[in-house]
Amino acid sequence: MNKRLMTSMMAIVMGMSIGSTVLASEVQESSQVAIESVQEVLGGFMTEVGHVCTITEDINGYKLQVGNEDGTIFYLKKDALVFDVASGTFKKMSEIKKDMTVSVVYPKDALMMLSLPARCSDVSLVVLHSNEANVSIGYFNDELVNEKDRLQLNINESTVVKSIVHNQKSLKSEDVKNKDAVVVYENTTRSIPAQTIPKLVLVLEKELNQEEVTDISQDNTASTMEEKLHKVDTEVADKPVYIGIRSLAEKNGFEITWDSLKKATILTKDDVQIALNAGESKYFYNKQVRTLKYPVKLEESCMKIADPILD
């Protein structure tokens, strides 16, 4: 568990615009300014633990800041998942209050805006901590051991195991292996690792948002699920059709990185390097300036393009 600190080159970060983005897993640089929250890297997720500094509501949802005024700001929808450890039930966003201790769980590949403070809108779950029960959030291996917390799960018939998606469907102990999970438990043995029979296990999974799921279920023109998913990915917006840069880069074998000096997303493959900036039509192709027909778009922390530059 490492103390989450602000980016080391403060002068560079101070100059970054709100539109600059980087993967959440890359925001782990060190400096001298603590923000009073703890960031942990799970298998496919990350979690930020701290007290609620501020929480405000607007027409689009909620803005939640963890730690202090320099802590990460998370943007959440009004129906975002909020799990209360004390009651073992899901709550409403409106029940989160200032000074509560929370864990904000988000995908490791979520895009974060490199402003001061950092901002993220891709949140999977908010966990409300309690003194009445213990909680472990982390990756559980094939033996159901969370090496970070040195905790091993002995799941039996009394343990409730559910997914955080698919309407919290019930799962089996096998479904927890090699997964990230939120575990609520009471007593443990004094062995190493400590063992416990958990009361509740919530398996952290990703899923398409409800609009995308509805589109897929009602679309009879695509013959396979792969084709349906492709339609969802390429028909996100009205004309022009914008496509997520990350999915497009991975599909075409490009490596994607972030250049903090140029405030650009860098796509690299063999001897080809492409540099893109959010909101810009001009981009660099092997140091040559080229122009897109449509500017790069930043939408819900996801950078998208409408020009087939990687084909």
Domains of the chain in start order, with CATH, are: 2-128 (2.40.50), 134-203 (2.40.50), 238-305 (3.30.457.10)
From the list 60, 71, 1, 82, the residue with the least C-alpha distance to 36 is 71
Element (H, E) at 225: helix 225-234
For tokens 């730690």, the residue is 67
Contact present, 75 and 62 (Cβ < 8 Å)? yes
In angstroms, the CA 284 to CA 237 distance is 25
Q: Which of 129, 140, 143 minimizes the C-alpha distance to 204?
A: 140
pLDDT higher than 50, residue 89: yes
Nearest to 305 by CA among 273, 282, 289: 282
Question: How many CA atoms, within 13 angstroms, populate the side-chain half-sphere of residue 64?
Answer: 35
Q: Does 214 or 95 have the greater pLDDT score?
A: 95
Task: Say whether pLDDT at 155 is over 60.
Answer: yes
Question: Exposed (0-12), middle (13-18) or buried (19+): which is 253, by Cβ within 10 Å?
Answer: exposed
Q: Report the C-alpha gap between 204 and 44 in whole angstroms.
A: 9
Q: What is the pLDDT of residues 185-243, one digit of tens each?
A: 989 999 999 999 999 999 988 764 444 334 433 444 444 444 544 444 444 334 567 77
148-167 CB burial, b ≥16 within 10 A, e <16: ebebbbebeeebebbbbbee
Q: Which residues contact 55 (CB under 8 A, 6 or more apart)?
A: 62, 63, 64, 65, 96, 97, 98
Confidence class for position 122, pLDDT limits 50, 70, 90: confident
Its pTM stands at 0.57
